[in-house]
Amino acid sequence: MEKLYSALNTQVANWSVLYTKLHRYHWFVKGPLFFTLHEKFEELYNESAAVVDEVAERLLTIGGEPVATMKEYLSIATIEETKGETSANEMVATLIEDYKHLKGELKELVELSEQYDNDSINDLAVGLLVKLDTHIWMLTAYLGE
């Protein structure tokens, strides 16, 4: 069960770091598409906050303890807090990388949830994979790739 707890806590940490990163992007984005990206980043950080809550509560329901401090998040997160992105395109490109990274870990969480016969965690992870696929597609289209 510890592997499942650890995988869920990694998600809590990553989505918490992502929430902060998206807030940073929301505040510092500049350029001709400011209004579009400012709004999109807000939508995405709100989604990240909801994911953190949902994953943490799922962890609590199976007897685990979610990490709950910035120090803990940063110590176990597998995505970087920031790369010092300044341009809108850098922000979007980094976000695509982060989402692809999260997808890989969520696929592992799907496998773990199947090993532990936990349908609710499986549903959660698969649902997040679907969201990430859409985000990656849209953000990649934004970059014209």
CATH number, domain of 75, equals: 1.20.1260.10
Residues 121, 19: Cα–Cα separation, whole Å = 21
pLDDT in tens, 112-143: 999 999 999 999 999 999 999 999 999 999 99
**Structural domain of 56:** 2-142
Residues 68, 63: Cα–Cα separation, whole Å = 15
Give the length of the chain. 145
Contact criterion met (CB below 8 Å) for 139 and 97: no
Residues 32, 129: Cα–Cα separation, whole Å = 31
Contact criterion met (CB below 8 Å) for 70 and 9: no
- Record the pTM: 0.96
3-state secondary structure of 121: helix
Please tell me the total count of domains within the chain.
1
pLDDT in tens, 21-78: 999 999 999 999 999 999 999 999 999 999 999 999 999 999 999 999 999 999 999 9
